[in-house]
Amino acid sequence: MTIAERHKHILDELGKSGFVNVSDLAKSLQVTVVTIRKDLKILEDKGLLYRSHGSATSVSPYVSDRSVQVKKLEQVEEKSKIAQKALEFLEPKDAIIIGSGTTVGAFAQAIPRNYPLTVLTSAMNVALALIDTTEIELVQLGGVVRKSSSSAVGHFAEEMLKSFACSKLFLSVDGISLDHGLTTSNMMEAHLNAQMIRSVQKTIVLVDSRKFGRKGFGKICDLEDIDVIITDSGIPEIYRERLEEKGIELVLV
């Protein structure tokens, strides 16, 4: 196979899922990993892909901080389906944590108004979505409010969180990658989310498929630290395989 044929194969595979793995390409093309890395470097220099550790993506893997007012207008149908599926993980009298973000915001809005729960949250949009419920006891974490995420972060939120133990965490993130785990664009929010994970028995991640292969500035945790991911069917195949290998329950809507 010529260099041009290899490059066409790489770009074709990238076009199918938005993600390619170096080891998988080396096996399928019957060349060395070194050869594939060189091919990816050439294609990146031409602006045709973005390289990462052991892989490449069709879009930049790095995410920037954006307002929830902007993000709530994106992937609306997928987020609604994810939110509805997440309701199946609720049990009456649960004490849960809901993080910040537009997908968990949709989840909060989908919770039946008369469902008996205790909800602890750092997110103001989540609290507002539940403020008129009759059976939900709502606990709002305090602290410095990040306007872009409408969420409290920092020392006071983290100290308050230490006083509680909950059964489940429903978490949204800005990025999920095989090599860097779960991330968000803000390091203070990432630190608070990491503490939320330590405060619960089960972590359920609500995320649309565009977040796979992306990375934010602040690392929340490794993939092994979560239990369930609820996402849409656009998730790259390589992630389906790797998540199952790690024992993470993957729920597609």
pLDDT score for 208:
93
3-state secondary structure of 179: coil
Give the domain extent around 211. 68-252
Question: Which pLDDT value is given to residue 82?
Answer: 97
Q: What is the pLDDT of residue 67?
A: 60
Do residue 146 and residue 201 come from a single domain? yes
Claim to verify: residue 116 and residue 19 sit in the same structural domain = no
What pLDDT sits at residue 65? 63
- 222 in a structural domain: yes
Q: Is 173 part of any domain?
A: yes
200 beta partners: 166
Number of domains within the chain: 2
Quick one: CA dihedral 206, 212, 218, 223, positive or negative? positive
- Looking at residue 154, the DSSP 8-state letter turns out to be S
Residue that finishes a domain, picked among 57, 76, 95? 57
In a domain? residue 63: no
The reported pLDDT for the residue numbered 32 is 94
Judge whether 105 and 68 are in contact, CB under 8 Å.
yes
The answer to whether residue 62 is domain-embedded is no
Given 57, 80, 102, the domain boundary residue is 57
What pLDDT is stored for residue 37 in this prediction? Answer: 92
Q: What is the pTM of this model?
A: 0.78
Strand 50-52 to 55-57 pairing: antiparallel
In 94-180, the DSSP E strands lie at 94-98, 117-121, 136-140, 144-146, 151-153, 166-171, 175-177
Q: What is the CATH number of the domain that holds 32?
A: 1.10.10.10
Are 169 and 80 part of one and the same domain? yes
pLDDT number for residue 69: 60
If asked whether residues 113 and 191 sit together in one domain, one would say: yes
Residues of the chain with pLDDT under 50: none
Cβ-contact 19, 54 below 8 angstroms: no
For 53-68, the pLDDT digits (tens) are 788 877 767 776 656 6
In this structure, the answer to whether residues 11 and 41 fall within a common structural domain is yes
